[in-house]
Amino acid sequence: MGVPTGEIEARYLPLDRMLVERIIEWQVDHYRDAFPSFDHDDWIDFYGPHMRGQDGPLPVVLGAFDNGRCIGTVSLVERDDLDDVDDYTPWIAAMIVDPARRGAGVGTALLNAALGRCRDLHFGRVYLWTHDQTDWYRRLGWIEVESKVFRTTPITIFRLDLGPVSAQIAT
């Protein structure tokens, strides 16, 4: 159980290389066993479009901040690594909470913030894949779409329906 969390603010991740390096340490550590190819350079590539500034609606990279300190992040991207899933877009990706702050609602807050961005962008459905957090996403209402093997590791693709797009466009 993490440290209880008070007011968590979710907002765009600043273009801050030191912060991204700290996040990459969490990511490399988390994926080391199942996806060793997700190494430092791979994550630099992942966060590159965000760090260079974006010229389209995606990617969206959000951070969760507690008193100004980043304690987690999540991204919304058009495509996410997998082959043969061209019909699936967009994806929630790279969800991670500071290891010292897990189990205190930060991940749920980040996920909700990302879903809010999906609605803002008028996406009616969103996808993600996971190799180790199926129970967490199931509990949060995500629906399993298919199971695959990605780089020798079994994964599950989930989707979440966000409701009719026309209802979200109304001003």
Contact positions vs ligand COA (CB under 6 A): 30, 95-97, 102-108, 130, 132-133, 135-136, 139
Q: Which is nearer to ligand COA, 81 or 132 (CB)?
A: 132
CB of residue 48 vs ligand COA: minimum separation in angstroms?
20
Kindly calculate the radius of gyration of the chain based on its CA atoms and give it in whole angstroms.
16
Q: Which is nearer to ligand COA, 27 or 122 (CB)?
A: 27
Q: Which is nearer to ligand COA, 60 or 96 (CB)?
A: 96
CB of residue 8 vs ligand COA: minimum separation in angstroms?
10
Q: Which is nearer to ligand COA, 122 or 139 (CB)?
A: 139
Q: Which residue is nearest to ligand COA (CB)?
A: 107
CB of residue 167 vs ligand COA: minimum separation in angstroms?
27
CB of residue 16 vs ligand COA: minimum separation in angstroms?
20
Q: Which is nearer to ligand COA, 55 or 135 (CB)?
A: 135
HEC string of the chain? Answer: CCCCCCCCEEEECCCCHHHHHHHHHHHHHHHCCCCCCCCHHHHHHHHHHHHCCCCCCCCEEEEEEECCEEEEEEEEECCCCCCCCCCCCCEEEEEEECHHHCCCCHHHHHHHHHHHHHHHCCCCEEEEEECCCHHHHHHCCCEEEEEEEECCEEEEEEEEECCCHHHHHCC
CB of residue 74 vs ligand COA: minimum separation in angstroms?
8
* Tokens 């797009």 belong to residue: 165
